[in-house]
A = this chain, B = another copy of it.
Amino acid sequence: MTSAPNPARPLAGVRIVEISSFVAVPLAGMTLGQLGAEVVRVDPLGGAADYHRWPVTDTGTSIYWAGLNKGKRSVAADVRSSEGRDLVARLIADSGVLITNVAGREWLSYDTLTQLRPDLIHVEVSGRADGGTGVDYTVNAGLGFPMVTGPAELASPVNHVLPAWDVSCGLYAALSVVTALRHRDATGQGQRISIPLENVALATAGNLSFLTEVMVNGASRERIGNSIYGQYGQEFTSGDGESFMVVALTNRHFRDLTELTGTAEAVAALANTLDADFTDEGERYRHRDALTGLFAGWFAAHTASEVTEALSASSVLWERYRTFAEVVDDGRLAANPMFTPMHQPRIGEYLAPGLPVSINGDYPEAVPAPALGDDTGGVLAEWLGLSESDIDRLTELNVVAGATPSSGTVR
């Protein structure tokens, strides 16, 4: 600790080198940066495989890349050259923390790098624990979720759109870094941390019982459409065609739902007929179709705004299904202190999210992403003490590259 840390930037003073692409490790680096760390993403001279990833602006700048690299510094170096590898290894040694999803390179290995920096924290995200490759969409396919997602009558798999395993993996990586930093503060020791993406998915499926129930009950989850398993949760459609997700987790929620739909008597009669106890969440789930039949009429007989009004006045958990465009257009983002108007060079001004965690009431704010190589010279000078003429020489030799005028403007 060189100075008193700011509570909202608790990782101030920590330096991290990120060698990455796609979602998991970039998210880890960005998250650590939002907590105050100085994160340098090192990329090949032309950018990593995600530098042009869609969505892009109409001039070809990747909105995607900008979204996952906010607040980082960018160094471009040719690690196919031994001089480039040496420079990057020195940056890693200086920082003391490497996060990467580039596996199997000798010069980037824990054993090699700890010769330069014995207390290195080395975090490697890989595809599978057995050394195989994998990305979010293949890991997800192999795991079972697509076979139980979507309308009950569907026979084919349904992929998720959110790369949920990548996101979780990135957060486990960020957690691992901070835990290792604290451990190093206390003991002086670094750590070699490995996080296979597939293991994040398997652990989550196990923790949430999707695998365990097969082992214990011999039963596998079925495809139940938009119902919530084991609870009463259902999609309804209003008379004017809007969809609502309605959830009754507790007896109070359920009672409110029967009252607002005017079905209290009918539900009681149904309980008698079925010999069911609707104060038990499992019974509500078992008989969900019958219950939904009773409630659906009320939704169909009311407009979306009447439904909204009635649900809002109750304890029932609910939300109207919205599109991304509706989320952007309804004004709630501007009212949310996590979002701030940000000018992103090469893209424009928009509302960007900071860390979704407020610390002592403040959300760490969004900071624009660099262009590739924006900080090559600055980082080499500040971290490694290279002179301007050193950097010019390395640039002429194409060992490193700074931002060119064209990378800072529309292509």
Contact = CB atoms under 8 A, between A and B. Distances in A.
B129 A193 contact: no
Given A134-B317, A137-B245, A183-B10, A208 B172 contact: no
17 contacts: A10-B191, A31-B175, A54-B230, A55-B212, A55-B230, A135-B317, A142-B327, A145-B161, A156-B235, A161-B221, A167-B204, A172-B357, A175-B175, A181-B182, A192-B359, A200-B356, A211-B351
Given A235-B156, A319-B142, A327-B144, A10 B202 contact: no
A216 B63 contact: yes
A256 interface: no
Given A35-B179, A182-B181, A216 B157 contact: no
B181 A137 contact: no
Contacts of A285: 54
Given A67-B208, A68-B208, A208-B67, A150 B147 contact: no
A309 interface: no
Interface in A316-353: 317-328, 332-333, 335-339, 347-348, 350-353
Contacts of A400: none
Contacts of A96: none
A313 interface: no
Main secondary structure of the interface of A (DSSP, over half): mixed
Contact of A247 (B137, B161, B351): B137
Interface in A42-62: 49, 52-58
A4 B187 contact: yes
B164 A164 contact: yes
Contacts of A210: 324
Given A250-B49, A336-B199, A57 B324 contact: no
Given A57-B217, A209-B64, A220-B325, A149 B178 contact: no
A5 to B, nearest CB: 6
A156 B237 CA distance: 10
A230 to B, nearest CB: 3
A265 to B, nearest CB: 27
Interface string A265-286: 0000000000000000110010
B323 A206 contact: no
Nearest to A182: B182
A226 interface: yes
A297 interface: no
A291 interface: no
Contact of A209 (B55, B181, B185, B319): B55
A53 B232 CA distance: 12
Contact of A191 (B7, B150, B350): B7
Contact of A63 (B148, B204, B209): B209
A303 interface: no
Nearest to A176: B357
Nearest to A172: B357
